[in-house]
Amino acid sequence: MDSFFGFLRIPSLYDLGVMLPGIVVGLTIHEFSHALVATSLGDDTPRREGRLTLSPLSHIDPVGFLLLLIAGFGWAKPVPVNPYNFRGEPRNGMALVALAGPLSNFVLAFIIVLFLAFGGINLPYAWEIGITAVAINVSLGVFNLLPVFPLDGEKIFNRFFSYEIRKFMVSYGQAILLLLLFTGAISFVLQPITRFILNFYFALFKLLAG
C-alpha cells in the first residue's frame, strides 16, 4: 500500500498530467527495486513472475492506482518473494528487499531535483511535473517506512519485534493502517517528516541552481 496523504477528489486533466509521471515512475521504480534486490540475494521468484522489469504494466494495480489518484492512498502489485531462497538469514534478506522500495523513492526524488537544478526546469511544464514527482516520491518513501503490516517498514523492523507483536501485526496490521488513514492520524504523524525531507530537497535545488 502507498500514500501521499491526499484527499478524496476527482483530479482535473491538468492535475492528471502533472501527477501521473511521478506516480507511475515512482510505483514502478519502487516495485522493481524490490524485485532487483530479491534477485540479487538469490531468489529467482520475481524474475519468474515477470516482475524484474521497468514496465509499469507489470507493477501497477488498476484499483490501487485509481485510489492513489482520487484518494491519495492505494497500492501497486506486491512483488512475490521467497525469503528461503535468499543467501543468508531470511529475515535479514526480507529487510533489505523491503528497504529497497522506499529508498528507491528517495533516490528518484534526488535525481529529479538534480535534473531540475541543472537545466531541466527550462523545459515546458518540467517544474510542475518535477516538483510534484518529488513530493509524491518522498511521501511514498516515508509512508512505506511505517512499521505496520503490510508496509515495507514492518518487514524492515520485523526482526526487532517479539513473536507476539509479529503475530498481532499480521492479524490486525491492515485494520490499524486503514484506521490511521481514515482518521487522518497518519497525516498528523508523517507530514512533518515529509515536510522536513522536502525542505532538504528544495534547499539542495536552490544551492545547485544558484
User: Which pTM was predicted?
Assistant: 0.91
Active-site residue flag, 31: yes
Question: How many angstroms separate the CA atoms of 16 and 13, rounded?
Answer: 5
* Burial status of residue 20 (CB atoms within 10 A of its CB: 0-12, 13-18, 19 or more): middle
- pLDDT value for 208: 92
- pLDDT value for 9: 63
Q: Rounded to a whole number, what is the largest CA-CA distance in the chain? A: 54
Q: What percent of the chain has pLDDT over 70?
A: 96
Pick the closest to residue 88 from 38, 52, 44, 47 (CA basis).
Answer: 38
Average pLDDT, the chain: 90
- pLDDT value for 131: 95
Active-site entry in 31, 89, 128, 164: 31
Binned at pLDDT 50, 70 and 90, residue 2 comes out as low
Binned at pLDDT 50, 70 and 90, residue 16 comes out as confident
| 44-70 confidence digits (pLDDT tens) | 999 999 999 999 999 999 998 888 888
Lowest mean pLDDT among 50-64, 127-141, 181-195: 181-195
Q: Is the pLDDT at 15 greater than 90, yes or no?
A: no
Mean pLDDT of 167-196: 87
| 136-174 confidence digits (pLDDT tens) | 999 999 999 999 999 999 999 887 888 888 888 888 888
